[in-house]
Amino acid sequence: MALVPPHGGKGLVCSLLTGSDLDAEKQKAAGLKKIQISAQAKGDLIMMGIGGFSPLDGFMTKADWKGVCENMLLADGTFWPVPVMLTASKDESDGINVGDEITLEREGEIYATMKVTEKYEMTDEDKKWESELVYKGAGEDSQGDFMKTALEDHPGVQMVMARKAICLAGPVKVLSEGEYPTEYKGIYLRPAQTREIFEEKGWSKIAALQLRNPMHRSHEYLCKIAVEVCDGVIIHSLIGNLKPGDIPASVRVKCIDTLVNGYFVKDNVVQGGYPLDMRYAGPREALLHATFRQNYGVSRMIIGRDHAGVGDFYGMFEAQDIFDKMPKPDDPGKRLLCEPLKIDWTFYCFKCDGMASMRTCPHGKDDRVILSGTKLRKMLSDGSDIPDHFGRDEVLTILRGYYEGLTEKVEIKMQKAASGEAM
């Protein structure tokens, strides 16, 4: 059987230039008007460059933005769950007109050039509208005055509201993959590379585990379930920016290496990383994770409890339910083909004497070790003892070493789902 095709029906749409084309575009870019881009836009550009965001070849028009927010559909009817925007201040964009070419730069490095096909304004009311549609969930923190709570505690909404006023749309030519190919050599993989790896292994049914926290026993269990029902699994870590208090990618990668080497059949597991920042969009981000994983050749996205959530903004399994509610365009090429692998709340049960889930364990809350990345970070940050069976000793040694080296610690807020209160 063949791998699942890239999303959008156009194959891998890659905007990254190489060779003489790259040299010529770099020379041209030096003479164009420059726009300074956000960290999020940098990650989005790299994903467009390597085909991770196929079929996108540039930043969204207003029609695309409106369709994605309202219906999870681009203007041409292709499924897409979250906006991908490029914004600039009024001063920065002054003098930029439709048809112009511009250079996109961050921290002194040129990442792309762009042909401007549309220029439009985004008001605060527009941003609030987007926040309500894309980031509001069914959890306790989303009830009542959502925007007031979100502006205080939701990093995704805070990023939306902090966007600059002018949006620029158009196709891009990507000139750099940033630090990822060197800093994460062997971990940072392009979709074409993962597809080649899967084909060499003879895999067609592949599951992906999304990671932004250190890998604990629950993550390990989810992967092993996936290995049992699929040809193999890719442990796919976010190596872009996180929120304060999250553990950096280099530490998380070391933890995964330790687990894979000690507790997995290596032939059944691939470790990789992708260059996006978290959006913390909960259910919508779960759909985004499945969408770009399809481009990497993944056919099943592991979706557990509170996937891509933050605080108590989302229901514990809202990210699973959204897969049953998303639009399904008639054209298979425009439809999301990466399906969810839905797994219930998992934990270690002393009476079961092993990992279990709410579907398999008949015992009570007091017999269970509630596992979550947030809870682990909270205990490590506070210097608390880690309960038995929470994580592998080798991994906890790595994490304790990281926390002992910190000179400044960030307060970790515990949500109900992470603490086990909602069980």
C-alpha to C-alpha distance for 15 and 49, rounded to whole angstroms: 4
Peptide bond into 55 cis (omega under 30): yes
Please say if 212 is a catalytic residue.
yes
C-alpha to C-alpha distance for 43 and 264, rounded to whole angstroms: 30
Please say if 71 is a catalytic residue.
no
Q: Check 106, 163, 212, 368 and give the catalytic one.
A: 212
C-alpha to C-alpha distance for 401 and 392, rounded to whole angstroms: 14
59 contacts: CB under 8 Å, gap ≥ 6:
41, 44, 84, 85, 86, 114, 167, 168, 169, 170, 172
C-alpha distances (whole Å) from 36 to each of 62, 87, 172, 378 are 21, 9, 15, 35
Amino acid at 246: D
What is 227-290 written as a DSSP string? HHHSSEEEEEEE-S---TTSPPHHHHHHHHHHHHHHHS-GGGEEEEEE-PPP---HHHHHHHHH
3-state secondary structure (DSSP) of residue 49: helix
Task: Tokens 């049953």: give the residue.
Answer: 324
C-alpha to C-alpha distance for 387 and 10, rounded to whole angstroms: 49
- Name the strand (E) or helix (H) holding 374: helix 373-382
C-alpha to C-alpha distance for 307 and 160, rounded to whole angstroms: 20
Q: Check 213, 252, 377, 392 and give the catalytic one.
A: 213
Query: How many alpha carbons lie under 13 Å from residue 328 in its C-beta half-sphere?
Result: 7
Active site (catalytic) residues: 212-213
